[in-house]
């Protein structure tokens, strides 16, 4: 990842989530460095899975960290963990990018270009694979994998998934709920 890095801390420094949040709200540079060093790769992997281009993923990651910096005061620990909040910001920012006119125009131009860069595609896949996301998703059944891919990596709404898969909306919701329960168990998230 060629993204510009914050000043890094010794890896032995750790924070409780509450202390980290307090430091982030205070604008503490070492806390932001810690967040970037410990969560940046995972957020980048999710972004890359959505936008599918490393250069764009790096730009989106920078936007995500700016949003975290500017919006940390809005974080509510009763609604979820800090990582989950940051993950939502990353996912939503990446989806917004894919819905932008510039991104859609570039994608059309790229699809017309016959010279596909196989090495770049391999790099994108291997960057996400090293995070173990593919292994975790492989524990889902085919229906669950498909709805997770469409909902979280392509940004489809449940209604759009229902139309795409030609399945009733209730079935789609059941598959998503089941997939999320399986992923929570697999990742030990309460």
What secondary structure letter does DSSP report for 72?
Answer: G
Mean pLDDT by 10-residue block, N- to C-terminus, for the chain (190 residues)?
Answer: 47 80 93 91 90 91 96 92 93 90 60 46 44 71 85 78 88 85 71
Domain residue limits, the chain:
1-131, 132-190
CATH class entry, domain 1-131: mainly alpha
Q: Identify which of 20, 14, 157, 27 has the alpha carbon closest to the alpha carbon of residue 81.
A: 20
pTM over 0.75: no
**4 C-beta neighbours (distance < 10 Å), count:** 9
Whether 64 contacts 38, CB under 8 Å = no
Which listed CATH number (2.60.120.10, 1.10.10.10, 1.20.1260.10, 3.40.1710.10) goes with 132-190? 1.10.10.10
Tokens of 85: 């909040």
pLDDT at 111: 53
Burial 78-111 (b: 16+ CB within 10 A, else e): eeeebeebbbebbbebbbebbeeeeeeeeeeeee
The continuous run of DSSP H or E covering 20 comes out as helix 17-25
pLDDT at 47: 92
Full DSSP string of 74-132: G--TTS--HHHHHHHHHHHHHHHHHHSHHHHHHHHHHHH-----HHHHHHHHHHHHTTT
């Amino acid at each position: 990842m060629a993204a510009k890095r914050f000043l890094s801390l010794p890896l032995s420094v750790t924070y409780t989530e509450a202390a980290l949040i307090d430091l982030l709200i205070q604008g503490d540079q070492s806390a932001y460095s810690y967040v970037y060093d410990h969560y940046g790769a995972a957020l980048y992997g999710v972004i890359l899975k959505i936008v599918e281009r490393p250069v764009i993923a790096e730009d989106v990651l920078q936007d995500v960290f700016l949003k975290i910096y500017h919006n940390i005061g809005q974080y509510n620990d009763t609604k979820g963990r800090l990582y989950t909040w940051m993950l939502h910001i990353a996912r939503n920012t990446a989806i917004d990018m894919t819905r932008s006119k510039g991104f859609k125009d570039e994608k059309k131009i790229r699809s017309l270009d016959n010279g596909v860069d196989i090495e770049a595609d391999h790099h994108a896949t291997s960057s996400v694979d090293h995070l173990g996301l593919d292994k975790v998703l492989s524990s889902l059944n085919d229906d669950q994998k498909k709805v997770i891919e469409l909902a979280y990596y392509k940004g489809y709404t449940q209604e759009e998934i229902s139309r795409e898969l030609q399945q009733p909306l209730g079935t789609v919701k059941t598959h998503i709920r089941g997939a999320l329960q399986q992923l929570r168990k697999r990742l030990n998230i309460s």
